[in-house]
Homo-oligomer: A and B are copies of this chain.
Amino acid sequence: MNQMEKILDYFGETKDFIDAKLKQYMTNEEPLLKVLQESINYTLYSGGKRIRPLFCFIVGELFDVPREKLFSLACALEMIHTASLIMDDLPHMDDARIRRGKPANHLIYGQDVAALASIGLLTRAYEVVLNDAELPDDKKTQVVRKLAHVVGIDEMVGGQFVDLKFSGESMEYSTLEYIHAHKTASLFVASGTTAAIIGEATDDEIHALKTYAKNLGFAFQILDDLLDSTGKIEEVGKSLKNDKGGFIALYGIEKSKQLLQEYTNKAFEAIKIFGDKNDKLVALGQVLLKRES
């Protein structure tokens, strides 16, 4: 087995492990809440690649954090990500009907239940970290402060608002950048930086992880726009955007491909400071960007 195969094996095992941990953390036995729990499970176990927990664990390894100190955080990141998918798909938001190849949560459970499932997931994310006996109080405080900041109006909520209200073919690049940086890249960035906080990383190391994650997030978004502009729902597994001003609308396909390469290069450049220990970060980037446009 070569190095890359070993890493992909590790990714697969980690994904299974996270699925099992999520089942422990995100359950409720109250019979009255059965359907609400089903709605949560429907999207939480719908085949997500668990990229954010993986990033969290990989960063933990860089700083020799015992893995059990990251279980709650890794699951919290996935809960927040899932909550944002359910919320963004709602009819009064992005009005998406297909997610991971299946009908969106609200089409099965209704808008009311989907919205409550989303808030339930968000809230449990903070709870599992705050309840974690493996973490000292100062780390819990720093990590949950960061998570709440990322979810709130300064990041994801703000990014979604600007996407809903200002997306359009005539928007400036700074607006598009605002949307992607806040709506999607921010949680991916936080997946690395929160793990780095637990690992007592230096400011330079945290900065490198931020640069890696932010540029990878942008690269991923361009790839997503490229797929949307050329793909079919069956291939992409989610509703295609009505392209109201993504990278393709602003720059065209060729220039977007060039930007994709530039962001990718910046991401991989940033993690050179970790030397040979960066192999899993490189592999994660490759996995993330391996979908063909």
Contacts and interface: CB of A to CB of B under 8 A. Distances in A.
Given A33-B162, A119-B151, A120-B157, A112 B140 contact: no
Copies of this chain in the oligomer = 2
A180 to B, nearest CB: 14
Contacts of A126: 126, 144-145, 148
A138 interface: yes
A32 B162 contact: yes
A35 B130 CA distance: 33
A120 B162 contact: no
Interface in A88-128: 90, 92-93, 110-113, 115-116, 119-120, 122-124, 126-127
A137 interface: yes
Contacts of A162: 32-33
Contacts of A165: 35, 113
Contact of A152 (B37, B124, B148, B164): B124
A175 B32 CA distance: 9
Q: Binding site of A, secondary structure by majority: helix, strand, loop or mixed?
A: helix
Contact of A158 (B33, B112, B164): B33
A234 to B, nearest CB: 29
Contact of A149 (B37, B111, B127, B140): B127
Interface of A: 28, 30, 32-33, 35-37, 40, 87, 90, 92-93, 110-113, 115-116, 119-120, 122-124, 126-127, 130-131, 136-138, 140-141, 144-145, 148-149, 151-154, 157-158, 160-162, 164-166, 175, 178
